[in-house]
């Protein structure tokens, strides 16, 4: 892709309305554009990142055997009256009257709707467990939307739901999601810590938040540093292995300020391992038994007896992760961003120095572009006639992890090549391709 043909409207300066660095960077690099309060359009650069995140989330759901469906954005109020949440939900729920004056709403979450789908489709315990997820837009009419897409009104989320015959089986499902979330965030190069959490309006008595460390995070966290060493790579999808994984994490004290207890923290965590910092919630899982299945009469036949199914729900903020990754990875002092390779909008950029009336560097750049394309690498090439220092400044903000710079003393065997935050190398194109591909396959 040529920069001059792309739709990446860069701003010269940080927009004053943006208070946190992800919001600043996303506006500045034209990833998003606000369309109304707390509602954003995703422009090509932001869209590409979000789609890559979505695909990782999807693959990791599929890997633990969750089936994808898609529920609509607009729901009827009836099922919410059945569960008892229609009145509870308050003004954050966007309530709508259609032309027939029926009470509708824009789904803020989907426990009710998925329970309705389940109860009308599944009759026997033999069809259990059922694990279903969808990735869909949601709406919460926040009183004060802020921080760009981190606390907006229309947002993109994966939510999953599990249906089981017993508490024991339901915990097995819960633990599958626990592992799946660890793997999901790891693929985005994020260290997400699972923390025991309150259940809030979803309800239930077992819940974990997955939190990534970021100075600008909205949650205070208190944790034992050793939790970062817990290894989930050998965990397999069976009850024992998953239970063990949960135990390994729960060995270490790790809570948000809601659950913080100073005495407990100091009693359980040796001073050298204590970490007090801030974090951002990127996932949240809940087990709530028959909280919805009972009022909504979602039961199965279990050897002639009617059993209410045991349910859990499991959310990942897909659009929110775009911002969370920036909060974790963007060095805003030096204005340098580096996307994790797995979600980067492009694999590599090519930055030629272009002087007026001299296209030779652009030609060299185009030749390299064509070779990289043949290796299935997605490349952005800067064909504008800006000077090199503003080009570098711009690409440092764009955060593409690899830069090829084509200047005066171009030498095919010693091409100027830089991985962001690392030293410049002078290597051949073959070595460049090897380096990028190696990073991609990690």
Which residues of the chain form contacts with a copy of itself (CB under 8 A)?
4-7, 9, 30, 33, 35-37, 39-44, 47-48, 50, 65, 67-76, 78, 91-92, 94, 96, 98-100, 102, 104, 106, 113, 116-117, 120-122, 126-127, 130, 132, 137, 139, 141, 143, 153-154
Q: Shortest approach of a copy of itself to residue 72 CB, angstroms?
A: 5
Asked if 132 and 66 touch (Cβ cutoff 8 Å), the reply is yes
Q: Between 122 and 400, whose beta carbon lies closer to a copy of itself? A: 122
Q: Between 50 and 328, whose beta carbon lies closer to a copy of itself? A: 50
CA distance 316 to 178: 12
3-state SS, residue 437: helix
Question: Regarding beta strands 254-256 and 219-224, do their DSSP bridges make them parallel or antiparallel, or are they unpaired?
Answer: antiparallel
Q: Between 46 and 283, whose beta carbon lies closer to a copy of itself? A: 46
CA distance 364 to 386: 17
Q: Between 69 and 275, whose beta carbon lies closer to a copy of itself? A: 69
Q: Between 345 and 399, whose beta carbon lies closer to a copy of itself? A: 345
CA distance 368 to 404: 9
Q: Shortest approach of a copy of itself to residue 93 CB, angstroms?
A: 9
Q: Shortest approach of a copy of itself to residue 188 CB, angstroms?
A: 19
Q: Shortest approach of a copy of itself to residue 58 CB, angstroms?
A: 10
Q: Shortest approach of a copy of itself to residue 97 CB, angstroms?
A: 9
CA 86 from chain center: how many Å?
28
Q: Between 134 and 338, whose beta carbon lies closer to a copy of itself? A: 134
CA distance 18 to 24: 5
Asked if 154 and 148 touch (Cβ cutoff 8 Å), the reply is no
CA distance 297 to 303: 18
Q: Shortest approach of a copy of itself to residue 419 CB, angstroms?
A: 27
Q: Shortest approach of a copy of itself to residue 120 CB, angstroms?
A: 7
Q: Determine the Cα angle at 150 with ends 146 and 152, to 5°.
A: 55
Query: 158 has which bridge partners?
Result: 135, 316
CA distance 376 to 424: 24
Q: Between 98 and 264, whose beta carbon lies closer to a copy of itself? A: 98
Q: Between 7 and 426, whose beta carbon lies closer to a copy of itself? A: 7
Asked if 405 and 418 touch (Cβ cutoff 8 Å), the reply is yes
Question: Regarding beta strands 130-139 and 67-68, do their DSSP bridges make them parallel or antiparallel, or are they unpaired?
Answer: parallel
**Helix segments in 353-387, DSSP class H:** 360-374
What is the token pair recorded at 251? Answer: 């060995």
Q: Shortest approach of a copy of itself to residue 185 CB, angstroms?
A: 23
């Amino acid at each position: 892709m040529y920069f001059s043909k792309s739709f990446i409207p860069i701003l010269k300066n940080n927009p004053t309305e943006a208070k946190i660095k992800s919001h600043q960077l996303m506006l500045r690099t034209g990833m998003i554009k606000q369309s109304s309060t707390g509602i954003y359009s995703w422009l090509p650069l932001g869209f590409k990142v979000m789609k890559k995140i979505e695909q990782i989330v999807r693959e990791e759901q599929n890997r633990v055997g969750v089936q994808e469906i898609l529920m609509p954005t607009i729901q009827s109020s009836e099922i919410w009256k059945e569960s008892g949440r229609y009145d509870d939900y308050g003004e954050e729920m966007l309530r709508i009257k259609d032309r027939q004056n029926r009470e509708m709403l824009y789904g803020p979450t989907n426990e009710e709707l998925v329970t309705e789908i389940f109860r009308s489709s599944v009759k026997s315990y033999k069809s259990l467990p059922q694990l279903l997820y969808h990735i869909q837009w949601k709406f919460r009419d926040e009183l004060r939307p802020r921080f760009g897409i981190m606390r907006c009104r229309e947002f993109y989320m994966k939510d999953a739901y599990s249906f089981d015959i017993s508490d024991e089986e339901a915990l097995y499902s819960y633990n599958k999601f626990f592992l799946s979330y660890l793997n999901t965030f790891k693929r985005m190069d994020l260290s997400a810590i699972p923390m025991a959490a309150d259940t809030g309006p979803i309800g239930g008595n077992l819940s974990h938040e997955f939190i990534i460390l970021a100075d600008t995070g909205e949650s205070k966290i208190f944790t034992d540093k050793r939790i970062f060493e817990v290894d989930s790579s050998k965990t397999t999808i069976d009850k024992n292995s998953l239970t063990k994984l949960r135990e390994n994490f729960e060995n270490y004290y790790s809570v948000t300020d809601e659950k913080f207890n100073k005495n407990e923290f100091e009693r359980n965590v040796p001073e050298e391992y204590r970490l007090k910092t801030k974090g951002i919630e990127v996932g949240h899982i809940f087990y709530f038994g028959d909280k919805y299945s009972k009022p909504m009469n979602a039961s199965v036949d279990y050897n002639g007896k009617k059993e209410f199914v045991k349910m859990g729900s499991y959310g990942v903020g897909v659009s929110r992760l775009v911002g969370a990754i920036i909060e974790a990875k963007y060095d805003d002092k030096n204005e340098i961003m580096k996307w994790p390779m797995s979600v980067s909008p492009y694999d590599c950029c090519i930055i030629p120095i272009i002087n007026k009336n001299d296209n030779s560097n652009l030609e060299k750049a185009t030749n390299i572009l064509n070779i990289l394309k043949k290796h299935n690498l997605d490349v952005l090439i800067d064909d504008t006639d800006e000077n090199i220092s503003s080009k570098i400044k711009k690409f440092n903000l764009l955060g593409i992890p690899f830069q090829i710079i084509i200047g005066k003393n171009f030498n095919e065997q010693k091409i100027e090549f830089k991985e962001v935050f690392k030293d410049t190398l002078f290597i051949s194109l073959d070595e460049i391709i090897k380096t990028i591909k190696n990073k991609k396959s990690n």
